DNA sequence: AACCCTGCCAACCGCCTCATG
DNA sequence: ACATGAGGCGGTTGGCAGGGT
């Protein structure tokens, strides 16, 4: 629906928060909880809109916020989650205790994105960057692989792709739920402490760049060949499960679905 | 010293979703 | 079924700090 009218109200202060304003907000929330954000500014004696108060609290004043540099593990977690979730910063933040979506978003835009580009990866697809001319021979080889398929084959491929996409959608829907819900309840007791998942041990993320490594994974960076396209039996060439699902894709998906990460959340 | 450029990050804006009446 | 308001989210911006010329 329409946007909240609170920000349209004139006379409300904008811009950086003063220590006095912070104190007022902290004291009020400690005493009464935030309750209705819209009502809070008046009750707390602040000349701010509710949105501004909520943002200040959730991104800066909350006591459980972890400040300081991101660790290597956190970097890797962000990278891996971004590969599946895209710019769903709040969803990514639920897997990084003490970090806010705003902080992760800023960290991505100022550090990780550049780091990936420098390593030769496309920050949106998490794949090696290619230009049309250098990849032309591979595209031609790929085209040769699929020349003159029958209508029945094409129909079967489309059918299979649709099935795979539907299953992926189910998993992504599940992943987007906060970890405090059924996901954590279904974990073994030792893993219920909101521990970051060990993505590097997961087949699902085996193809993605390791930021802790000095160089990108050479096997992953290797140009596509006919055998690399058709041979889906190796972990290093799992490739994009969606785009390759027509070429032994069912096997990729069976491996993916057998992966501990998906077993855990399924 | 003055200016410019770049990086960083807190905060804002506008849209969306969901709950409620 | 629809309208409305509150909260949440992601994209963007503004201003500060630091480094270079």
Q: Say which CATH number the domain at A99 has.
A: 1.10.10.60
pLDDT at A149 over 50: no
A229, A152: one domain: yes
What's the mean pLDDT in A219-248? 34
Query: Total domain count for chain A?
Result: 3
- Residue A110 within a domain: yes
What's the mean pLDDT in A207-232? 43
- The nt closest to A103 (CA vs C1′) is B9
Q: Give the residue nearest to nucleotide B6 (CA to C1').
A: A110
CA of A102 to C1' of C9 (A): 10
User: pLDDT class for A118, splitting at 50, 70, 90?
Assistant: confident
A106, A158: one domain: no
User: pLDDT class for A117, splitting at 50, 70, 90?
Assistant: confident
Is strand B in 7 Å reach of the CB of A3?
yes
- Residue A141 within a domain: yes
A140, A261: one domain: yes
- Residue A215 within a domain: yes
Q: Give the residue nearest to nucleotide C13 (CA to C1').
A: A15
- Residue A39 within a domain: yes
Identify the domain containing residue A188 by its residue range: 136-265
- The nt closest to A54 (CA vs C1′) is C7
CA of A14 to C1' of B9 (A): 16
pLDDT tens string A31-46: 888 888 989 998 999 9
A181, A159: one domain: yes
A259, A140: one domain: yes
A110, A163: one domain: no
CA of A82 to C1' of C10 (A): 14
The fraction of chain A above a pLDDT of 70, given in percent, is 44
Q: Give the residue nearest to nucleotide C5 (CA to C1').
A: A4
- Predicted confidence at residue A220, as pLDDT, reads 37
Is strand C in 7 Å reach of the CB of A189?
no
The residues of A between 219 and 238 with beta carbon within 7 Å of nucleic strand B are: none
- Residue A66 within a domain: no
Q: Left if phi > 0, otherwise alpha if psi is -120 to 50, otherwise beta: which for A45?
A: left
A106, A175: one domain: no
- Residue A207 within a domain: yes
A56, A77: one domain: no
**Neighbouring-strand partners of residue A121:** A128
CA of A176 to C1' of B17 (A): 15
User: Which among A41, A61, A81 is the end of a domain?
Assistant: A61
Please state, as a whole number, how many other Cβ atoms lie within 10 Å of the Cβ of residue A21: 20
A140, A163: one domain: yes
The fraction of chain A above a pLDDT of 90, given in percent, is 20
A45, A96: one domain: no
CA distance A80 to A94: 14
What's the mean pLDDT in A245-262? 42
Is strand B in 7 Å reach of the CB of A1?
yes
A163, A227: one domain: yes
A155, A185: one domain: yes
- Residue A157 within a domain: yes
Q: Which nucleotides of chain C does any protein CB come within 7 A of?
A: 4-12, 15
pLDDT tens string A50-106: 999 999 999 999 888 888 889 989 999 999 899 888 889 999 999 998 899 999 999
**Neighbouring-strand partners of residue A128:** A121
Burial of residue A115, with CB atoms counted within 10 A of its CB: 0-12 exposed, 13-18 middle, 19 or more buried = middle
- Residue A250 within a domain: yes
């Amino acid at each position: 629906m329409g946007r909240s009218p609170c920000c349209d109200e004139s006379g409300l202060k904008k811009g950086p928060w003063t220590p006095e304003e912070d104190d007022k907000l902290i004291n009020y929330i400690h005493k009464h909880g935030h309750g209705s954000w819209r009502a809070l500014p008046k009750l707390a004696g602040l000349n701010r809109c509710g949105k501004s108060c909520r943002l200040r609290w959730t991104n800066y004043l909350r006591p459980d916020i972890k400040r300081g540099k991101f660790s290597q593990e956190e970097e890797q977690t962000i990278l891996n989650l971004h590969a599946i979730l895209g710019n769903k910063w709040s969803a990514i933040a639920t897997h990084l205790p003490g970090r806010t979506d705003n902080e992760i978003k800023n960290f991505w835009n100022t550090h990780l994105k550049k780091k990936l580009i420098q390593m030769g990866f496309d920050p949106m697809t998490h794949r090696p960057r290619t230009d049309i001319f250098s990849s032309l021979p591979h595209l031609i080889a790929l085209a040769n692989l699929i020349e003159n398929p029958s209508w029945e084959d094409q129909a079967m491929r489309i059918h299979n792709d649709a099935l795979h996409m539907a299953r992926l959608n189910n998993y992504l829907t599940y992943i987007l739920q906060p970890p405090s819900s059924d996901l954590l309840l279904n974990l073994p007791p030792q893993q219920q402490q909101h521990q970051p998942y060990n993505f590097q041990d997961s087949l699902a993320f085996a193809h993605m760049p390791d930021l802790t490594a000095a160089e990108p994974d050479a096997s992953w960076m290797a140009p596509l060949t006919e055998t690399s396209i058709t041979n889906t039996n190796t972990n290093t060439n799992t490739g994009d499960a969606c785009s390759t699902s027509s070429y032994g894709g069912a096997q990729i998906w069976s491996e993916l679905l057998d992966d501990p990460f998906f077993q855990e959340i399924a």
